[in-house]
Amino acid sequence: MKIVACIKQVPDSAAKVVVENRHISWGDAPLVINPWDEFSVEAALQLKEKHGGTVTVISVGGENEKEAIKHALAMGADDAILITDPVLTGLDTQAIAQVLASAIQKIGGVDVAFFGRQAIDNDSGLTPSQTARLLNWPALTLAAVITFDGIRLKVERSTEEGRQAVSANLPVVVSLVKDYGEPRYPSFMGIRKASRAEVPAWSLANLGISAPASVISWPDIMNPPSREVVCEIISGSSPDEIASVLANKILGEKVL
């Protein structure tokens, strides 16, 4: 099977992110593979281990995007492609989906394209379904369980009400949720292999497309309004006394 995992590099989830002069800063926090994309790489590797084939990682970004790519290669992906082009800065998700769909078409013969459910920076969660729509492939999103019988790929989708089992013939786009199971840690051998790997960089000219137009713009980015709370510490001589004072305070807030 020809398997692709699309990944993104983001500031670590423990980063303190602030806006300074309209510029987003995450201090000295590391840039890492988007946590949800680790599940995408894991699912790609498991599908390959069961059914054979190759796993290619695709990422869109600058040269520094390579940390996330190296992580995916160290987990066991066979090769990677970095799509990098000066015109790609500040594109909206619709435009990024066009770039990814073009890359998947250029690779050719792809059976499954995996994504994480969303990236923890922009939080939009649109790219998997939009890429699927552009490719005219079924989107089996929010997958917690994946099975493949050689013809149809079936996923259990994690929704508000529980699980919805949906199947489709290949090729398909699949996006992953955390219920899928822990992604593996890179092995020592994997890290060594990844550090030596050559990652080809594709420009939009290589993909044969011009810069896709963005329709979404961001007139402003703000720090959240500061939370002006002073914490009132409730104390007392017994748990019952503390609990009864606290319960009365909460009832006084009229939130129940």
Partner 1 sequence: MKTWVYIDHFKGQALPASWEAIGAGKNLGTVTAVIFGQNVEPLAKEAFEQGADEVLLVDDASLLDYRAEAFCASLSKLVAATSPDVILFPTTTRGREIAAMAAIDLKTGVMVDVTAIDLQGDRIVVTRPIYAGKLFCKETCSSNPQIVTLRGRAFLKPKAQAGRTGTLTKASPAMGEADIKSKVEGYSTSESGVSLIDANVIVSGGRGVSNNPSLIPPPGLDEKQAEIWRAQQGFTLVKNLASTLGAAVGASRAAVDAGYVPYSHQVGQTGKVVSPDLYIANGISGAIQHLAGMRTSKVIVAINKDPDAPIFKVARYGVVGDLFQILPALTKAFKQSLGK
Return the residues of window 137-196 that contact partner 1 according to CB under 8 A: 138-142, 154, 156-169, 177-179
Tell me the residue type at 59. Answer: S
Among residues 54, 64, 203, 248, the one that binds partner 1 under rule CB under 8 A? 248
Among residues 63, 89, 227, 237, the one that binds partner 1 under rule CB under 8 A? 227
Among residues 21, 23, 86, 222, the one that binds partner 1 under rule CB under 8 A? 222
- Residue ranges in 82-111 that form contacts with partner 1 under rule CB under 8 A: 92-94, 97
Q: Is 255 exposed, middle or buried (CB count within 10 Å of its CB: 0-12, 13-18, 19+)?
A: exposed
12 contacts: CB under 8 Å, gap ≥ 6: 26, 29, 30, 31, 32
Binding segment (CB under 8 A) for partner 1, from list 60-68, 75-83, 200-208, 231-239 = 231-239
**CB of 197: closest distance to partner 1 in angstroms?**
27
| Radius of gyration of the CA atoms of the chain, in A | 22
228 contacts: CB under 8 Å, gap ≥ 6: none
Is the peptide bond between 171 and the residue preceding it cis, with omega within 30 degrees of 0?
yes
**218 lines the binding site for partner 1 (CB under 8 A):** yes
Which SS3 state, helix, strand or coil, does residue 108 take?
A: coil
- Both tokens of 253, joined, read 């807030």
Per-residue x/- track, 21-60, partner 1 (CB under 8 A) = ---x----------xx------------------------
Among residues 9, 59, 102, 130, the one that binds partner 1 under rule CB under 8 A? 130
Nearer to partner 1, 66 or 157 (CB): 157
Nearer to partner 1, 5 or 143 (CB): 143
**CB of 248: closest distance to partner 1 in angstroms?**
7
Which SS3 state, helix, strand or coil, does residue 129 take?
A: helix
**CB of 255: closest distance to partner 1 in angstroms?**
4
**CB of 117: closest distance to partner 1 in angstroms?**
9
CA distances (Å), 174 to each of 107, 116, 160, 208, 254, in order?
Answer: 18, 8, 18, 25, 44
Q: Is 224 exposed, middle or buried (CB count within 10 Å of its CB: 0-12, 13-18, 19+)?
A: exposed
CA-based nearest residue to 135, from 98, 93, 176: 98
* # residues contacting partner 1 (CB under 8 A): 82
**CB of 143: closest distance to partner 1 in angstroms?**
12
